[in-house]
Structure 1
Amino acid sequence: MHHLHGSVHGKCSLFRHFCKPRQLVIRQLGRDETAEIALERRLRESQRVDERVRFVSNLADWEREKREAGRNLLVLEVQGETVCHSGLMEEAEYHWKLDVQAAAEEARMRCAEIKHTFQRIARDCADATFLSHTVADTPTPCSSALCDHLGVEILPTLQFWKEGVKLWEHRGALHMRDDLAEGVLFYEGSAADGVHMGSYVTELDSRAEFNNFVSGSGSNDNVLKVVNIALTSAAPCIHVYPAVLALARNFNGYASFARVMGDSNEELENLLKEYHVLEVPTFLFFRNGKEVGRHVGSSRADLIGQILQIQQSLGMEPPPGSSIGGRPRVQRQRASWR
């Protein structure tokens, strides 16, 4: 969980190969493809990746891309030509892998997987700008100046920017693939298979929208209203968000979900103070406009358990498959108001 400081300011298809007389057929997502058709499709996808990922080599490129991105999310990957750090402290990394050659090979494979994930997400997420910069083993002066400007000290580094402001970054290859997908979902709202957050989680940008959500009546007043309180740069809020989306999709008719980005404007800053939100993520539970409980932290199991407990007190049966998994991460971050 995130303690607030200062101002409250998706799957690679599985291919099954089998031989038929004179031709190889690939079965993908319920379709049959000849090898030739599959090759043409992959070439088209590669072309889309080339069009979606743009490469920056110096500060002038970077400043131009920032301007052209406008209000869109900008995702920047800075990778090494052959270097790939885990992101662990040097001593911890030494004990983590004593076999230097094995560590180097694993790092190389890990960074190759990150590059593939970056390209796939860039291909599928049309509303964000994706940039890449590769640092040579002997960096050029332009590359060094760009990395210094960006504050890049670990390769690879992943950064999320919007309107010229760095929102968040991940340093090192460890968990980077997960954080890339989570960051794009959290900031842009795009998930795998064309799923968009806005179809399931309501974004609340003002006090009026908050009041309408928690007090508004629907076809079933027993539906629990869940408000996810988050901050822009709080890693626990980013890490838990896939679970929030999954719950919103699976709990349709059982619980309704919305999100408040508490540092997006002064009105929402005051809302968080009014509800005594000191740590994020915080989940506020409402029924008929009244708060009936809350959950603090990013534990998926505890969040699900609390929602089920509140609803079962009304005799409401839980929906099928109401267990949302996920990797354990930092659960909370504390707040102090300026």
Structure 2
Amino acid sequence: MATITNFLCKPPSPLPINPKFNPTYSQFSSFFTKPKPVITKLETRRTQVIIKAKAASSTRKVDSDERVQQVHSIEEFDEALKKAKNKLVVVEYAASHSYHSRKIYPFMVDLSRTCNDVEFLLVMGDESEKTKELCKRENIDQVPHFSFYKSMEKIHEEEGIGPDELVGDVLYYGDNHSAVVQLHNREDVEKLIEDHKTDQKLIVLDVGLKHCGPCVKVYPTVLKLSRQMVDTVVFARMNGDENDSCMQFLKDMDVVEVPTFLFIRDGEICGRYVGSGKGELVGEILRYQGVRVT
């Protein structure tokens, strides 16, 4: 086992960044002319955040959904992003004829009531020429489409997703409400380790990248475990591409694939797991807690 000090002294190694989202859209003229098939349908629920939604009606009653703001033009859209500052902003692009848009909308409303630190916007692409112009500017060609913004910058987007994926994305990118300790530099990591040197708790450090699909996929499991194991395990997370300090820290730790989970106890790194398998992650945590896994 190496101490954290010795571990950080290793020479840095290259860390490739492979953005998850690289879509190819069809002609914008085809947008909103006919319903698009949903890409993914998930029936399970990952976290306590998912609430059973009411059956979606054919008419949206946006005025009664006080936490979801409908925007009607480019000007309103830009103003909403500006007003949100560094909060996460989740934008759903929808169409009145889209069955899948209507189906997922109640889940977004329920999610908005749970995540008070996240702003939610709705754009009905076929509402007017102004909303069509907005969709054209944002390169939206299929619905339902979700875009995620921070500080007026688009950080992630998905199309044709189900409730599970929507919740996972919001939890991953909207970290203010998270039960997982958020680490933003090397000093944060060192302080966390120092704070738990003597309390016998295992530290599980989730290392990833902002645009890493497997990192987003496994994060709801990390959140759920952080609540279930609060008495014995401390969960923390760092995104390597958040800033230069984080990226250098990942290089110092020889992280070449993400997500990587580092297991730290008594100030020492005692192991790591690379991957996004839920069962494997749980098994590794139990193993490093000293629990026999059969």
TM-score (norm 1): 0.66
Partner of 2:74: 59
Residue 48 (structure 1) shift: 8.5
* Alignment counterpart, residue 113 of structure 1, candidates 84, 100, 103: 103
In 2, distance between residues paired with 1:73 and 1:142?
24
- Counterparts of 1:1-338 in structure 2, within 5 Å, are 4-5=17-18, 10=49, 11-12=51-52, 49-83=64-98, 108=99, 110-136=100-126, 140-172=128-160, 175-189=161-175, 196-197=177-178, 200-217=179-196, 220-221=199-200, 223-312=201-290, 316=291
> Shift in Å at residue 65 of structure 1?
1.0
CA distance in 1, matches of 2:124, 2:53: 28
Deviation at 1:220, TM superposition (A): 2.9
Aligned partner of residue 116 in structure 1, secondary structure = helix
| Separation of aligned partners in 1, 2:192 and 2:231 | 15
Query: How large is the Cα RMSD of the aligned pairs?
Result: 2.5
How far is 1:254 from its partner?
A: 2.6
Correspondence for 2:24: none
Residues 261 and 159 (structure 1), Cα distance of their counterparts in 2 relative to 1, 3 Å cut: same
CA gap of 1:235–1:202, structure 2 versus 1, over 3 A, is same
Aligned-pair distance for 1:219?
Answer: 5.2
**Corresponding letter in the other structure for 1:158:** F
Taking the aligned partners of 2:204 and 2:65, their CA distance within structure 1 comes to 40
- 1:47, distance to aligned residue in structure 2 (A): 8.8
| Structure-2 change in CA distance of 1:49 and 1:280 (3 Å) | farther
Q: Is the CA contact (8 Å cut-off) linking 2:208 and 2:239 kept in structure 1?
A: yes
* Larger-gyration structure (1/2): 1
Structure 1: runs of 5 or more not aligned: 15-45, 84-107, 191-195, 319-338
SS in 1 for 2:141: coil
- Secondary structure at the aligned position of 2:289 is classed as helix
The CA deviation at 1:187 is 2.0
Matched letter for residue 187 of structure 2: A
Residue 184 of structure 2 aligns with an amino acid whose one-letter code is D
Opposite residue 209 of structure 1, the aligned amino acid is D
Instruction: Give the Å deviation of 1:306.
Output: 1.1
Structure 2 portions without partners, runs of 5+: 1-14, 20-48, 55-60
1:309 is matched by which residue type in structure 2? R
Normalised by the length of structure 2, the TM-score is 0.75
For residues 240 and 3 of structure 1, what CA distance do their matches in structure 2 show?
Answer: 20
- Note if contact 1:3-1:280 (Cα within 8 Å) is conserved in structure 2: no
**Distance of 2:152 and 2:162 partners within structure 1:** 22
Counterpart amino acid of 1:124? T
SS of the residue aligned with 1:279?
Answer: coil
How far apart are 1:244 and its partner, in Å? Answer: 0.3
